[in-house]
Amino acid sequence: MATETFDYVIVGSGSAGSVLADRLSADGRHTVQVLEFGGSDRSVLIQMPAALSIPMNMPKYNWGFETEPEPGLGGRRLVCPRGKVIGGSSSVNGMVYVRGNPHDFDRWEEEGAAGWGYRHVLPYFQRAESRREGGDTYRGASGPLATQYGKAENPLYNVFVDAAKQAGYPATADINGAQQDGFGRMDMTVKDGVRWSAANAYLKPALKRANLSLVTHALVSQILFEGRQAVGVRYERDGVAHEARARREVILAAGPINSPKLLKLSGIGPASELRLLGIEVRADRPGVGENLQDHLEFYFQMACTQPITLYSSTGLIPRGLVGAQWLFTRTGLGASNHFETCGFIRSRAGIRYPDIQYHFIPLAVTYDGKGLASEHGFQAHVGPMRSKSRGWVRLRSRDPKDHPRIFFNYLGHEDDIAEMRACVRLTREIFAQAAFDPYRGREIQPGADVTSDDAIDAFIREKVESAFHPSCSCRMGEADDPMAVVTPDTKVIGVEGLRVVDSSIMPSVTTGNLNAPTIMIGEKAADIILGKPPLAASNAPYYTAPDWQTAQR
């Protein structure tokens, strides 16, 4: 068996793994190997922002996971796309840059993740970011990860914000700054018209160093141990078995589905589950694969009475012209993800900070690109941010090639259903405002007759989709917490020389899309792993609605 030895072995080249590859190899003192099951990202379909729905649905770039039948959704199985390519899910996602609400990270501290409060993580968000509009107390100006606003040339982007203001919600100058609450522009991870994935931002520049190596098409099957010490991993490539040994540490950055899977295949997890499959128990950690969380969303779609939407560009010839302009100039409609305005609101009085998110797009279309409306339209993607249902990731077998079983338990808590009803009613109210009068046609979805609780519930169970934000399946916590998997220094509890650094270690899901906080996790964990002092804590204030206890807006 071919064996090589490095200081650090990183499993996964996604949003966190690419960051670690860069930061751990930066000073040249340590050798680092990254193992990635996917391959190259050299495809127009990945690099052109407007093509975002295509690679996400291609077996070449997507692991192809799906859930178990979900009782709360009438037994439907939902797809759970995960990037199988360098850059991981940052190479197939919607390129939306949302850090989360500052309250999220202070909640992490309360949940046992000491040192991960907002004051601690804000400096790492800033270190990661290079914002085209410039840096400030909250934003970064010189990091590897490029962010920018879209041009918002379509008038409907600003109409959406104006309508929200008419409905009584605030506008915010920066949802990633002091005030997430309200409506405003949405950042995207795009640079010079190109998707700025973690691979483009971190991994590819770092691969110029002699002390960093990348192996693609490598399926990691097991973590290797000597006693309690992790010493490497076993992987298969082109039918040949290999070992990558680690002098210092093995770091799982395989994501919220594959990291718990690998831990369990290696004997770390709930003892009862492992014994049923004949896997020797190395560390009985009942929290591995549990606490799985996600965001659900639906599309609230309206017909548009004026021919100004992106529908004009969906025909074969217009799409060809958009593609040609992007290929030759990296400009035009191909250079945007088209999520250019957004909103964050509270579903009811008594909620301290936003628990509903909006993405607005001047087109009526499903995320997989297949359900294109047959007319001009616009839509808001809307869904709750902190659902109370919890799911799990469990092994199907001992075979590393088998996908694990995934169950989110969507709408498994009655409060989750109440939040979905609020999403329908509050969105309908925004679209009914005067700002939309010149543009508003019929309500395509849910439909104007969907008004009662029962009708809304039936619509939700049939139409709701995942926002593709799985997380929290190897959560951080205190060492004596039986359901914690890693301590706040990202070390796996019960063994030595092994860490998990990806969105699976979030104690609870953040308010928004997960790429930005996952990159932050990689940045902060890199300093922890290298033994560097943490960046100085920030004293930047952040917004809480003063009347949150008594008012919804």
Which residues does the annotation mark as catalytic?
469
CA distance 177 to 53: 28
DSSP assignment of 66-78 equals EPPPBGGGTTB--
> Are 492 and 500 within 8 A, CB to CB?
yes
Beta pairing, strands 498-500 & 240-252 = parallel
Secondary element (H or E) of residue 232 = strand 229-237
CA atoms within 13 A on the CB side of 32: 29
Task: Give the list of residues 6+ apart from residue 69 with CB closer than 8 angstroms, or none.
Answer: 75, 76, 77
Q: How far apart are CA 517 and CA 251, in angstroms?
A: 18
Query: For residues 219 and 95, what is the distance between their CA atoms, to the nearest angstrom?
Result: 26
Q: Where are the alpha helices (DSSP H) in 447-511?
A: 453-463
State how far the Cα of 108 lies from the Cα of 139, in Å rounded to an integer. 21
303, 151, 177, 133 alpha-carbon torsion, rounded to 10°? 180
Token pair belonging to 355: 């628990």
Query: 33 and 12 in contact (C-beta within 8 Å)?
Result: no
> How many H helices and E strands in the chain?
13, 27
Rounded Cα distance between 218 and 4, Å, is 14
